[in-house]
Amino acid sequence: MGVLIGPFVRVLFFRVLWFACLAVLGAPLQAQRVEIEHEGRVYVDIATAGGRLGMSAYWLRGYRTFRLRSQWTTIDVGKGERILYLNRMPIYLGFPTHEAGNRLYLARADYQHVLQAILTPQVFSGKPNFRRIVLDPGHGGKDPGAQNAAYGLNEKDLALDVALRLRRLLEESGFEVIMTRESDVYIPLERRPRIANRARGDLFVSIHFNAVASAQPEGLETYAFTPRFQASSKFAKPNWKDNRSYPGNANDPWNALLGYHLQRAMVQQTGGVDRGLKRARWSVLRPLECPGVLVELGFVSHPGTAQKLRTAVYRQTLAQSLYDGIIQYGNRLQRIP
């Protein structure tokens, strides 16, 4: 939780500054509701939040979607919705947005865990190192993971193949790479983050593929660990269990930043369907002491995807996309003083 003290102090500072400005201008305080309380939670006016990030703010035609915009970034978010679109990437929020008095409000938790983490990570303390990378190919041995028998695909083989290709790319660039497995062996879930922690890894990527009963779903998605007090993306509302903090939460901002860059590179390189940056408390991320995410690199149950996954060229593209995302995350860290 240490890393969150910075932003809280900063938010407090901005509030004080804001009220001081209003007092100087003689504007009535009631007219500018920068922060409101809704369902027991603090929400911030998204236009004001955008202003702090140097973005202009306006409703799109029809007053259903609010847009924040700067030279490089467009953020669209709908009324009462729990997804925002950052340069078209769906990013799952902790809480739905809330409209009041023709203004749209975003939970302050989402302002911190999504907008600040991705757009202004320099506000957080504890910038991570970026040298030793831990790759975690999902499943293995007796656990095949997702399967598509018709195409002869096992998730465990695909994950290992992509991880080994990624390791080669990273090592060629001078990174130290640690693998939770480098052959077809079974590794219990709880041992995987322990390997990363013991090796003092700087970054952890767990590599997976999806499968569902239907042939339709397709695309790529990335999971960052769910922040404290909020529900994971597949649940509608938080419950008492979500009040717990885990070691993985110490890296909340960096998890989101890493997830954003990986997801963006995955979609750009493959041209695949962007299923977005989601939140879950996967057990491989829970005890993790460094930034980490879990990527789902496609549905083996989707015939078109399965066809591509059979080719080494496409698996190399997937490895290259993860490599690019890791480098872009590292470049972003480097720009933090």
d(CA 69, CA 77): 12
Q: For tokens 């990363």, name the residue.
A: 196
Query: Per rule CB under 5 A, is residue 276 in the interface with Zn ion?
Result: no
Q: How many residues does the chain have?
A: 337
- Which of 7, 96, 145, 219 contacts Zn ion by CB under 5 A? 145
Q: What is the dihedral of CA 266, 272, 275, 281, to 10 degrees?
A: -40
Q: Which residue has the CB atom at the shortest distance from Zn ion?
A: 208
Q: In the complex, what is the shortest distance from the CB of residue 85 to Zn ion, in angstroms, rounded to a whole number?
A: 26
Which C-beta is closer to Zn ion: that of 137 or that of 330?
137
Q: In the complex, what is the shortest distance from the CB of residue 232 to Zn ion, in angstroms, rounded to a whole number?
A: 16
Q: Which two tokens stand for residue 76?
A: 């669209």
Q: In the complex, what is the shortest distance from the CB of residue 139 to Zn ion, in angstroms, rounded to a whole number?
A: 6
Q: In the complex, what is the shortest distance from the CB of residue 282 to Zn ion, in angstroms, rounded to a whole number?
A: 10
Q: In the complex, what is the shortest distance from the CB of residue 299 to Zn ion, in angstroms, rounded to a whole number?
A: 11
- Which of 94, 138, 272, 291 contacts Zn ion by CB under 5 A? 138
Which C-beta is closer to Zn ion: that of 94 or that of 272?
272
Question: Stretches 37-45, 47-55, 142-150, 302-310: which one binds Zn ion (CB under 5 A)?
Answer: 142-150
Between CA 113 and CA 260, with CA 272 as vertex, the angle to 5 degrees is 15
Query: Per rule CB under 5 A, is residue 208 in the interface with Zn ion?
Result: yes
Query: Per rule CB under 5 A, is residue 193 in the interface with Zn ion?
Result: no
Which C-beta is closer to Zn ion: that of 145 or that of 227?
145
Q: In the complex, what is the shortest distance from the CB of residue 196 to Zn ion, in angstroms, rounded to a whole number?
A: 17
Closest CA to 233 of 288, 269, 281, 172: 281
Alpha-carbon radius of gyration of the chain? 21
Question: Cβ neighbours of residue 215 under 8 Å, at least 6 residues apart?
Answer: 301, 302, 303
Q: What is the dihedral of CA 159, 162, 165, 168, to 10 degrees?
A: -60
Positions touching Zn ion (CB under 5 A) are 138, 145, 208
